[in-house]
Amino acid sequence: MNGRRFSWSRWVSIVIKEFIQLKRDRLTFGMIVGIPVIQVLLFGFAINSDPKSLPTAVVSLDNGRYTRTIVSALKNTNYFRFVHEAASMAEADEMIERGKVQFVVTIPAGFERALVRGDRPQLLIEADATDPSATGPALAAVNLALTTALAHDLQGVTGDLAGGSSAVDVRIQRRYNPEGITAYNIVPGLLGVILTMTMVLMTGLAMTRERERGTFENLLATPALPVEVMTGKIIPYILIGLIQVTLALLAASYVFSVPIEGSLVLLYAVVLVFIAANLTLGITFSSIARNQLQAMQMTFFFFLPSILLSGFMFPFRGMPEWAQVIGSLLPLTHFLVLVRGILLKGATLPELYSSIWPILAFMGAILLLGLKFYRKTLD
């Protein structure tokens, strides 16, 4: 039965047909180019919020009682949540790099002695500032909290210090985005938002459009196989996705001077994975939907939580737990971590695995669903 074998020439003709149709659809074509540029420009402005309970690691090289005072003072601000006590600064560094914690508080050796002597010892707080709206309010609260807490503890020990100025010298180190520019955070995130919207929507419409216009019947009557049709329809959109990413990156880099610290090759590789996940979802939507309107509604049903719960609109860690659980199922959430990691932190592949596999898992699950729903006949 050679009728069941994949035919490259049929596949190529389906790809060509899609390109021709796309070329004739001027409006869609304009949107593909327009959306990334316009959105990057529009969203370049900050959206501020006040997230609490951010994961923090502490590196305590001095185990005196003041360490506990400092930790509990920070905890009492509600901004910091101590999740880990790191043995070394290297370990803490790695955690911040992987995005496991937002802050690392380092209490240097000899802290207590210096404090009691009134030497104003240094207290180092490192912040992952890729998303400045997440770290800003927390850092602003640090000084006051520490001054009040230590003043109470130090009373009677060094009376003169307790009165006015701070007993410690808090050094804040913002990493990855030292100036706290919001556009640095928003613009890379937009890459993901743009891709989610256009990829899911356009493939969602691809199949339902054929069905609505009646041309699906003709396609079904030819020997073309479902897999040829499905993948053949996807190819043009992969290319479109890459064009969009390039346009958005150019806009980000020229208009907002967003740095590109990491490897562009790695970035595009990650983008391809993300595009694939979204296209899978789009094709699945278009197998389930009866018409274009339904496909559109399904896209928005998926798009809204993606925007709201992925950490694009609001800092991920500022959201309630249930929202974080939903958010962590969405590919966009992980894609944001990946893009910010590569663009701002210069992250490399090994640090990114933990964010890549959830996207792949999502894709696998959706693919199974899509194959289950693909209709080989008109019933």
Partner 1 sequence: MNADLVVDVQGLNKHFGPRHVVKDFSLQVRRGEIFGFLGPNGSGKTTSIRMLCGLLTPDSGSGTCLGHDVIRETASIKREVGYMTQRFSLWEDLTIAENLDFVARMYGMRLRRKVVDDAIDALGLGSRRNQLAGSLSGGWKQRMALAACMLHQPKLLLLDEPTAGVDPKARRDFWEEIHKLAATGISVLVSTHYMDEAERCHRLAYIAYGALLTSGTVDEVVAQQALATWTVSGPDLPQLQVALEKLGGVADVTQFGNALHVTGTDADALDRATAALRASGPQRWERSTATLEDVFIHLMRDTKDNYQ
C-beta closer to partner 1: residue 7 or 49: 7
Nearest distance in Å: CB 29, partner 1:
13
Nearest distance in Å: CB 269, partner 1:
33
C-beta closer to partner 1: residue 7 or 53: 7
Nearest distance in Å: CB 239, partner 1:
19
Site for partner 1 contains 3 (CB under 8 A)? yes
The distance of Cα 50 from the centroid of its chain, to the nearest Å, equals 18
Q: How many CA atoms does the CB half-sphere of 356 hold within 13 Å?
A: 16
Site for partner 1 contains 364 (CB under 8 A)? no
Nearest distance in Å: CB 10, partner 1:
6
Distance separating alpha carbons of residues 102 and 162, to the nearest angstrom: 31
Count of positions (residues) in the chain = 379
Nearest distance in Å: CB 247, partner 1:
25
Q: Are 248 and 191 in contact (CB under 8 A)?
A: yes
Pick from 30, 118, 178, 223: which binds partner 1 (CB under 8 A)? Answer: 223
- The secondary structure of 236-269 as a DSSP string is HHHHHHHHHHHHHHHHHHHHS-----S-HHHHHH
3-state secondary structure of 57: strand
Pick from 117, 171, 213, 372: which binds partner 1 (CB under 8 A)? Answer: 213
Distance separating alpha carbons of residues 234 and 18, to the nearest angstrom: 9
Site for partner 1 contains 85 (CB under 8 A)? no
Distance separating alpha carbons of residues 365 and 15, to the nearest angstrom: 26
Q: Give the CA distances from residue 54 to residues 108, 130, 134, 334, 344, in Å, rounded to whole numbers and listed in that order.
A: 22, 14, 8, 18, 20
C-beta closer to partner 1: residue 136 or 236: 236
Pick from 156, 163, 214, 320: which binds partner 1 (CB under 8 A)? Answer: 214
Site for partner 1 contains 290 (CB under 8 A)? no
Site for partner 1 contains 26 (CB under 8 A)? no
Beta-ladder partners of 127: 103, 174
To the nearest 10°, the Cα dihedral for 362, 332, 280, 216? 140
Pick from 46, 220, 296, 329: which binds partner 1 (CB under 8 A)? Answer: 220
Residues with Cβ < 8 Å from 286, sequence gap 6 or more? Answer: 203, 204, 205, 206, 207, 208, 295
C-beta closer to partner 1: residue 165 or 377: 377
Site for partner 1 contains 257 (CB under 8 A)? no
Site for partner 1 contains 291 (CB under 8 A)? no
Site for partner 1 contains 18 (CB under 8 A)? no
Pick from 78, 217, 261, 297: which binds partner 1 (CB under 8 A)? Answer: 217
Site for partner 1 contains 354 (CB under 8 A)? no
The structure tokens listed for 128 are 């992952």
Q: Which residues sit at the interface with partner 1, rule CB under 8 A?
A: 1, 3-4, 7, 9-10, 13, 17, 20-21, 24-25, 213-218, 220-224, 377-379
